[in-house]
Amino acid sequence: MRYSQLFLPTQRETPADAEVVSHQLMIRAGMIRKLTSGIYTYLPLGLRVIQKIETIIREEMNRAGAQEVLMPSVQPAELWQETGRWNVYGKELLRFKDRHGRDYCLGPTHEEVITDLVRKEVRSYRDLPLNLYQIQNKFRDEIRPRFGLMRGREFIMKDAYSFDIDEEHAEKSYWKMYDAYVRIFERCGLKFKAVEADSGAIGGTFSHEFMVLADTGEDAIVTCTSCDYAANLEKAEINPDYARDRYGKPLGSKGLPAEKRGTPNIKTVEEVTRFLRVRPDRLVKTLIFETGKEPVAVLVRGDHEVNPIKLKNLLGVETVALADETLVRELTGAPPGFTGPLGLKIRILADNDIRPMEDMVVGANEEDAHLVHVYRGRDFDVSGFADLRFITPSDRCPRCGKDILFIRGIEVGHVFKLGEKYSQAMSATYLDDQGKERLIVMGCYGIGVGRTAAAAIEQNHDQDGIIFPWSIAPFQVTVLMLQPEDSEVASQAEKIYNGLKEANIETLLDDRDERPGVKFKDADLIGIPVRITVGERGLKSGQVEIRLRRTGETDEVRLENVIEKVRGFFREPVS
């Protein structure tokens, strides 16, 4: 490809709305342009990178036995009503009507469509297993689109769906996809970690997120400093056996009777602890949640936060949400901030760390009042204990009890065992070898293609620009024709360019009528792994300069050896 003919508008200025480096560099390197919030056009350079990633994904999906299909983006509401998601998906789902007034949405994901296809076509166990995937634009009306391709509203996703005869086979399919993902992200040149994620009603460890490690990542990951435990923050379990604070035996009798203290307009943990001069781990927060069924109260220590996902899974409900002020007043007789477990007429669940607590401070269910010297068992009871809070950096690894570390990551892929959720809701069945009708067991597997490209740049750049990993670089080599007006420079650069093309090496020839400084700057910015500089000075001694973008290593190479030298990089790819 000749740069003079390529639509590659680079720019020196950093765009004002680009907060993370990958977004800045994708704009500056002429890879993408914004149409409107969270919606981008891929320019030729960006599209080449996207297509490289897609090729890797296709090769690995096909190798794992998956087959490519392409489903429509427009999906009828009826399918979403069948699974109930028309009501629960919320505002991320872009809904619209056709000219007949029928409801549709633009697909944010395709479980409904694929399950509909499979229930119509799959009859018997002989038709299974089946794994179908597509690479397609998804639409999610994200509340905060940002970071360029990282969190778009329209974005390219690879989504795959597996169909099996039973749990055991579904698990095999799951691990096959897990392995394929490891290969895909390795081939993309990424440093990543597969972490346990929430698998909702399924339970167990059948949901993993593939996280590219980066400080700018939106996701918090909990890793063990000793064993290989890694989970996302929502999922990370807290093992009571490894509790940091061991409370001693109660001191003598049950101490002092509960006593009310006036706490005028003092509500937050910080305010209450300062006012009553107690440590936050002496305070118990009582939070009321709406669950779609009965409201429940959850007790956690003052220095802990309720993890709503753990609560949702424990209760087996679709959603949980903090109760609004009206409900809190109705149930406690006081505004939020003064809720406590004494006299509360709803079910009370407590986090495991409440169990050893004594002599606690709680809300008095009365405006501007708290109770001190409160004891569980004496003053109130709970209906059960569970792990209901977020892990904190001072907790220990739930597997081995060693210290943990919080790191940040970008979720590029997600593998998930769905079980019978969709096949049950949509009656996707098959006949087993006894002729008995059974539900198909499913899994789903997503990769954000644009996000993967962005994550790769996040991990591979320097102050001058992008440093593409070989496998996803838009070109492998760029040849800089430093003085195009010099006929010797022009003809030698052309010769090298043609030689590389013949060797099937993707090459960008910078034949623009630009100053050398501009060409060097652009070459660094767009991050092509190998740069060959053909200039008057070098040619005097029959040489060109070959430089590796990543290491900055340079070599003066004789003209006749250039192609062989570059080929050598491919025999032993440099990462």
Peptide bond into 129 cis (omega under 30): yes
Q: Which stretch binds ligand ATP (CB under 6 A): 151-159, 257-265, 401-409, 497-505?
A: 151-159
Q: Does 208 bind ligand ATP (CB under 6 A)?
A: no
Q: d(Cα 220, Cα 211) in Å, to the nearest integer?
A: 10
Beta bridge partners of 461: 466
- Cβ proximity to ligand ATP: between 302 and 448 the closer is 448
Q: d(Cα 218, Cα 197) in Å, to the nearest integer?
A: 15
The CA radius of gyration of the chain, in Å to the nearest whole number, is 30
Q: Does 312 bind ligand ATP (CB under 6 A)?
A: no
- Cβ proximity to ligand ATP: between 26 and 157 the closer is 157
- Quick one: which of 28, 119, 140, 282 contacts ligand ATP (CB under 6 A)? 140
Q: Does 409 bind ligand ATP (CB under 6 A)?
A: no
Nearest distance from residue 570's CB to ligand ATP, in Å? 29
Nearest distance from residue 412's CB to ligand ATP, in Å? 5
Q: Does 304 bind ligand ATP (CB under 6 A)?
A: no
Q: Which stretch binds ligand ATP (CB under 6 A): 64-72, 148-156, 497-505, 526-534?
A: 148-156
Nearest distance from residue 63's CB to ligand ATP, in Å? 20
Q: Does 181 bind ligand ATP (CB under 6 A)?
A: no
- CA distance to 185, 220, 425, per residue, from 211 (Å): 10, 10, 31
Q: d(Cα 80, Cα 76) in Å, to the nearest integer?
A: 7
Q: Which residues, in sequence order, are CB contacts of 50 under 8 Å at separation 6+?
A: 42, 156, 449, 450, 453
Q: Residue 56's closest CA among 517, 413, 320?
A: 413
Nearest distance from residue 134's CB to ligand ATP, in Å? 13
Q: Does 157 bind ligand ATP (CB under 6 A)?
A: yes
- Quick one: which of 52, 119, 151, 421 contacts ligand ATP (CB under 6 A)? 151
Q: Does 412 bind ligand ATP (CB under 6 A)?
A: yes
Q: d(Cα 476, Cα 567) in Å, to the nearest integer?
A: 11
Burial-class residue 311 by CB neighbours within 10 Å (0-12, 13-18, 19+).
Answer: buried
Q: Does 451 bind ligand ATP (CB under 6 A)?
A: yes
CB atoms within 10 A of CB 535: 19
Q: Does 453 bind ligand ATP (CB under 6 A)?
A: no
Backbone angles phi, psi at 22, to 5 degrees: -65, -40
Residues 104-133 touching ligand ATP, rule: CB under 6 A, are 109
Q: Does 446 bind ligand ATP (CB under 6 A)?
A: yes
Q: Does 211 bind ligand ATP (CB under 6 A)?
A: no
Nearest distance from residue 66's CB to ligand ATP, in Å? 16
Nearest distance from residue 152's CB to ligand ATP, in Å? 4
Question: Do 373 and 255 contact (CB within 8 A), yes or no?
Answer: yes
Burial-class residue 321 by CB neighbours within 10 Å (0-12, 13-18, 19+).
Answer: exposed
Site residues for ligand ATP per CB under 6 A: 109, 140, 142, 151-152, 155, 157, 411-414, 446, 448, 450-451
